[in-house]
Structure 1
Amino acid sequence: MYNLDDKPFLIIVDDEPNFSESLQLALDDTFIISKVNSIAGARSFLNEKLPDVILLDIRLPDGNGIDFLRELKKISSMPVVIIMTAFAAIDNAVAALKEGAVDYFTKPIDIEKLKRELKVCLENRFLQKKIAALDKEIKKCTPPFVTSGVGKMREIIDKVPMVAPLNIPILLIGETGTGKEKLAKWIHTLSGVKGEMISINCSALPKDIFESEFFGHTKGAFTSAVSHKEGLIEQAEDGTLFLDEIGELPEAVQAKFLRVLEEGLYYKVGETKERKVNFRLISATNKSLADPANNFRPDLFFRINGINFELPTLKERREDIPLLVSTFIEEANKAYNKNVKQVSAKVMKHFMEYSWPGNIRELKWSIHRAVAITPKELIDMDEIYSISEAFKDSKKQAANIDPSLSFQEAIEMVERSYIENALLTANNNKTEAAKILGISVRTLHYKIKQYRLLQSQTGKF
């Protein structure tokens, strides 16, 4: 038996007032009922609240019930629809069932039969909702990482569910492209906090506006502060604050942020009133914060390093590469409407031997690019140019720098080549290329303009 906290909501869509009234009287003890006499009236209800059941007449003043049924099919959680008509016709019945109706009643309606049908339909609907809720819980607990089940990644996956519910800062350590943000999102999902996860890339915010973006500001706090601004930490209230590349946190902000973590108090820029804030902190870095050369406060480091996870590089988890390749091919097939089956043995050998400086992100976009451009079902070395040749070229270029160049000129030459290759690997997707490079999209745009990178080997940027 279905068990809903509230009565299910039913809409009667019929232009015969006496018929609609008699149906309402017969079903009023089981449902909350609304009556409309047109398709337009039904649409207006759908915009406000999705019903559990629609009793739908075929012939209506402003259209045909079967046509409206086609509209209802597009709703992700389609209501139970039962067609009613005084004009029995086999072709209408077939069309209605084909378009998603659960049954087809001819007038006058057999009320007892309708009640039995509705009971069964609602029990099934309730079970479907329970199954969907269970699926959601299962997906929430399922690790978002592909792994063969051995090594460092497996250890992390096993530990995360134990520490995620604990209100203790977590520090994620790993190279660019190893999956730090994905791990942070999983921890947030498992934590059970009711707020959202607010992500901040500390390297992407310009230092001159970092404090006002981070803490917020009041109107008139500085020349361009024309209105009050909610800070990022305020947005993370009762949720998770994810600070990516926390090593780039400006020194002036580090002391203030330490007080936020220790006392839960802060000031907006230009404000004299203390504010309280509560959030779960997850930080990420690709460098050693304990190294004095990185200018990171030791007391802040100890505060954020409650529990840490060191994510392995892709070359440290080569056993996972075949599984990752299969996963990314499947993902790319859906994205580009392709039917690529696998990579050749030669490509797989190359993947297993390659150093992967961009880690999983580089592998992902190499596969995506290959799937996008190949006309075949098998990816061969021709489609893997970005990693089989491009980075080799940049290494050769770095090894053969003209000694007559100044130090700055040499650096710029290598930087230009590296950016070109990252763009090639990411199939000219600037957001992904920036992630591969470990820089902000804004910085990448600046570099493209600086080096006049108007065209790559695969097309315009």
Structure 2
Amino acid sequence: MDSKIAIIEDDLSFGEFLKVILEEENYKVEVYNEPEEALKKLPEFKPHLVITDLKMPKIDGIALIEQAKKILPETDFVVITAYGSIPSAVEAVKKGAVDYITKPLSSPEDFIALVRKILENKKAKNFSHKIFEKSEDIPPFDILFAGMDDIYKKIIKVAPTDTTIILYGETGTGKTIIAKVIHILSQRKGAFVEINCASIPENLIESELFGYEKGAFTGALKTKPGKIELAKDGTLFLDEISEMSLAVQAKFLKVLQEKTFERLGGLNFIKTNARFITATNKDLKKLVKEGKFREDLYFRINVFPINIPSLRERKKEILKIAKYIIQKLCKKLNKEVPELSHKAKEILLNYHWPGNIRELENVLERSLILCQGRELEIDLEPVFFEIEKEKNSAINLKFLEKQAIIEALEKTKGNKKKASKLLGISLRTLYNKIKEYNLKDF
């Protein structure tokens, strides 16, 4: 639905001028020349944004905002003021306006940019509210999509459709949470059902997906519906779809094409209206070339791809995300929320985070348990690293070598010649190490 904007301006020509600019951006606009008329008609129009002049006869902009907020509590307000009345505009912001503009307009482009920003922020707030109504486990909007505005815009557009989606991203980037968000925003009546194709043995995944009839095989003592059936009218999320065997891929492809399936040992076709979201941390194109993934299935699931960035690609947001996780963990651990030390901030920003958000959560939980003061120091050494230390010191040396290469490449902004000099190794050796440790980002 297009955003609706009301303009309250006693200067007829200026009000119409603003209307023309806004309608060119496909906003639905109504102009009122008298505040009394506006207060009567606003409840019926229900605008998302009201732009009101500050100086008007009988009712000024501040008084209008105070009255209008009682009948339109969810609406945002912007005031129009002359250059000499900016202090009054600041007062209006204190009373509930989100911003102000001056007249004459310095730039129509700046005006449109301000309006667009206010309405996008409003959508983001509504988005967060809708998500939290459904699940308290999902982070707030500004945390979940920190540094991922383009992802959010794609999700808003694709969520209400039935389009098949595939999420690409490294382990720990939050693909499951993104899939849940898409399901919630789709407003589907059915449940969100997930299956991790990598965690189920190959001989069991078929029965998990399609279900089975009583007596279909030894041990099938009763009929059991599969994940596809349970997701009817809802969403089925298949994580790590790259691990699905070719035989099961063929059967799943048929479900996508025909929207019907049979339980193992069944004779009747069952219809499904499930929406399918898949995810992988692998390069499916490469797997297709290697004959490990069906090309026809690849094209079926790759209709709307969404690439979830790694945490190292969102470095500007790491401290914000870390602070949110710390608050959440302190509630769980029943501890006071400490401040991150200067050294801790440096560690968080400079580490490569191969395990992404999941690794960040693990490191912060471990650090909080060990924390004794008001400042939080980061214990970065992963738990698995400590276990492996006793088994094989060579593993630790490789880990340290990889980290040293990453840090050198980051310091030189990917300049391999400079990085090799910094590391004291030949350029050829550096290229070999980049290939060995699969450092594709560099």
Q: Same fold (TM over 0.5)?
A: yes
Q: CA offsets per residue over residues 360-413 of structure 1, 9 Å max, x none?
A: 1100111112112312121124x4443898599699623768xxxxxxxxxxxx
CA–CA distance in structure 2, aligned partners of residues 338 and 352 of structure 1: 24
Report the equivalent of 1:373. 370
| 2:157 paired with 1:162 | yes
Match of 1:137 among 113, 122, 130: 130
Instruction: Note if contact 1:146-1:320 (Cα within 8 Å) is conserved in structure 2.
Output: no
Report the equivalent of 2:348. 351
Q: CA offsets per residue over residues 429-455 of structure 1, 9 Å max, x none?
A: xxxxxxxxxxxxxxxxxxxxxxxxxxx
Instruction: Give the match's secondary structure for 2:285.
Output: coil
Instruction: Note if contact 1:343-1:380 (Cα within 8 Å) is conserved in structure 2.
Output: yes
CA–CA distance in structure 1, aligned partners of residues 209 and 361 of structure 2: 32
Change (3 A) 1:248 1:144: farther
Report the equivalent of 1:268. 263
Match of 1:211 among 206, 217, 226: 206
Q: CA deviation at 1:293?
A: 2.7
CA–CA distance in structure 2, aligned partners of residues 352 and 303 of structure 1: 39
Report the equivalent of 1:305. 302
Larger Rg: 1
**TM-score, normalization: structure 1?**
0.54
Report the equivalent of 2:182. 187
CA–CA distance in structure 2, aligned partners of residues 360 and 379 of structure 1: 18
Instruction: Give the match's secondary structure for 1:317.
Output: helix
Q: CA deviation at 1:335?
A: 0.4
Change (3 A) 1:327 1:205: same
Change (3 A) 1:313 1:136: closer
Report the equivalent of 1:234. 229
When the two chains are superposed, the root-mean-square deviation of aligned CA atoms in Å is 2.9
Instruction: Note if contact 1:221-1:270 (Cα within 8 Å) is conserved in structure 2.
Output: yes
Q: CA deviation at 1:321?
A: 0.6
Unmatched 5+ stretches in structure 1: 1-132, 402-413, 415-461
Change (3 A) 1:176 1:391: farther
Change (3 A) 1:395 1:310: farther
| 2:278 paired with 1:283 | yes
| 2:252 paired with 1:257 | yes
Instruction: Note if contact 2:339-2:376 (Cα within 8 Å) is conserved in structure 1.
Output: yes
Match of 2:313 among 297, 316, 328: 316
Matches within 5 A, 1:4-403: 136-137=129-130, 139=132, 144=140, 146-147=142-143, 151=147, 153-291=148-286, 292-293=289-290, 295-381=292-378, 383-386=379-382, 390=386, 397-398=394-395
Q: CA deviation at 1:146?
A: 4.5
Change (3 A) 1:178 1:195: same
Q: CA deviation at 1:275?
A: 1.6
Q: Which amino acid aligns with 2:298?
A: F
Instruction: Note if contact 2:212-2:223 (Cα within 8 Å) is conserved in structure 1.
Output: yes
Q: CA offsets per residue over residues 69-99 of structure 1, 9 Å max, x none?
A: xxxxxxxxxxxxxxxxxxxxxxxxxxxxxxx
Instruction: Note if contact 1:238-1:279 (Cα within 8 Å) is conserved in structure 2.
Output: yes
CA–CA distance in structure 2, aligned partners of residues 376 and 246 of structure 1: 45
Instruction: Note if contact 1:140-1:189 (Cα within 8 Å) is conserved in structure 2.
Output: no
CA–CA distance in structure 2, aligned partners of residues 388 and 306 of structure 1: 37
Unmatched 5+ stretches in structure 2: 1-125, 400-442
**TM-score, normalization: structure 2?**
0.56
CA–CA distance in structure 2, aligned partners of residues 307 and 277 of structure 1: 20
CA–CA distance in structure 1, aligned partners of residues 309 and 388 of structure 2: 23
Change (3 A) 1:288 1:135: closer
Instruction: Give the match's secondary structure for 1:210.
Output: helix
Q: Which amino acid aligns with 2:130?
A: E
Instruction: Give the match's secondary structure for 1:176.
Output: coil
Instruction: Note if contact 2:236-2:277 (Cα within 8 Å) is conserved in structure 1.
Output: yes
Runs (4+) off by over 4 Å: 133-136, 140-151, 387-396
Instruction: Give the match's secondary structure for 2:290.
Output: helix
Change (3 A) 1:287 1:144: farther
Q: CA offsets per residue over residues 175-226 of structure 1, 9 Å max, x none?
A: 0000100000000000011000000000111111111111011111111111
Instruction: Give the match's secondary structure for 1:223.
Output: coil
Q: Which amino acid aligns with 2:258?
A: E
Change (3 A) 1:135 1:169: closer
CA–CA distance in structure 1, aligned partners of residues 385 and 260 of structure 2: 53
Instruction: Note if contact 1:215-1:231 (Cα within 8 Å) is conserved in structure 2.
Output: yes
Identity of aligned residues (%): 40
Change (3 A) 1:135 1:154: closer
Change (3 A) 1:378 1:389: farther
CA–CA distance in structure 1, aligned partners of residues 339 and 236 of structure 2: 39
CA–CA distance in structure 2, aligned partners of residues 293 and 398 of structure 1: 29
CA–CA distance in structure 1, aligned partners of residues 149 and 229 of structure 2: 35
Q: CA deviation at 1:150?
A: 7.0
Change (3 A) 1:390 1:345: farther
Change (3 A) 1:143 1:155: farther
